Amino acid sequence: MRVTVSVAVAGASGYAGGEILRILAAHPEVEIGTLTAHSNAGQAIGGVQPHLRLVAERRFAETTPANLLGHDVVFLALPHGASGELAASLADAAKSRGEDEPLLIDVGADHRLTDEVAWNEFYGTPYAGSWPYGMPELLKSGGGRGRDDLAGVKRIAVPGCNVSAVTLGLQPGVAAGVVDAGDVVAVLANGYSGAGKSLKPHLLASEGMGMAAPYAVGGVHRHIPEIEQNLLAAGAEQVRISFTPTLVPMPRGILATITAPLLGPADAVRPAWESVYADEPFIGLLPDGQWPSTAMTLGANTALMQVAVDERAGRVIVVCAIDNLVKGTAGAAVQSMNLALGLDERAGLGTEGVAP
């Protein structure tokens, strides 16, 4: 018997919210309910998200608890700092109305970190606490994976997009003890959609086309403590990471190049990745010698990677490609929703990219 899940999206006018809607439109078990926005409230959805034809004639509602309650699931695609406040308001409103709280899925940063000290250092806003972490493939040093903690939960924090690329790329080596997580270097090429829809001069096409530019250099990027948190969960004794993201002139996608010192024999490296990802539906280790590109993952809920050993430098090199809006955000959110509700983990999620 088919299950129908009613879903609302708060912040549906942004890139992440729009991508959630695009995926949900193809989900066989979902009925799309209220869609809210802030400055775009009252406007036709087709005027803001013209590619979403299924809901083009509907209008954005205001982002209030009253508009969001009554759904089975609410996705929070809001700016950092807004999700925690809205989640608390939704809980209070549900209690006052005698209703069950919906499953809340936060694609922002508000509930990702378990360490309040790290939150204060990198975000500097009131700490909203941590929620179950929405990375189903995350390895846990005691055994199992992240999906084991998602069944039946009522709160999910979706990982950061850069975090997903680095964590998924490196964690097999950490878990197998073939890399030293105490000296990780990650350099990422990032599409502009990762910066959101805010109108800023350096994000204009006239500024960005034909230019690559680093940002958040020198250990200040907010995804650093989350990467550390994940690699420690995978079994690292300590994590030190030099993390440098770079904007490149493409709408979406992340290509992460990650290196760490080799521990042990070089011929133990590739088998570590093969054994971890052999049965994962959305993670692919490419054939030996083939390297990933962002085009391979465009529009797909996949992370594709390759691993090699630079024996001269004594380092393992992993290159991981994802679509920052799908596997990096909306796809991971829907995948986690499926697990929380007991649906097929793959429902509504594609693995085929779009090329050229």
Reported as half-sphere exposure (CB side, CA atoms, 13 A), residue 191 has a value of: 22
Among 119, 234, 215, smallest CA distance to 167 is for 234
Nearest-angstrom CA–CA distance, 83 and 88: 9
DSSP 297-345: GTTSS-EEEEEEEETTTTEEEEEEEE-TTIIIIIHHHHHHHHHHHTS-T
Catalytic residue among 9, 35, 52, 161: 161
How long a stretch of residues is the chain? 356
**Is-catalytic flag, 320?**
no
Q: Are 290 and 330 in contact (CB under 8 A)?
A: no
CB atoms within 10 A of CB 201: 8
Q: Are 45 and 56 in contact (CB under 8 A)?
A: yes
CB atoms within 10 A of CB 278: 9
21's tokens: 């809607």
3-class SS of residue 296: helix
Angle at 185 between CA 180 and CA 186, to 5 degrees: 125
Among 224, 274, 213, smallest CA distance to 247 is for 213
Residues near 283 by beta carbon (within 8 Å), at least 6 away in sequence = 137, 168, 277, 302, 303, 304, 305
Catalytic site residues?
161
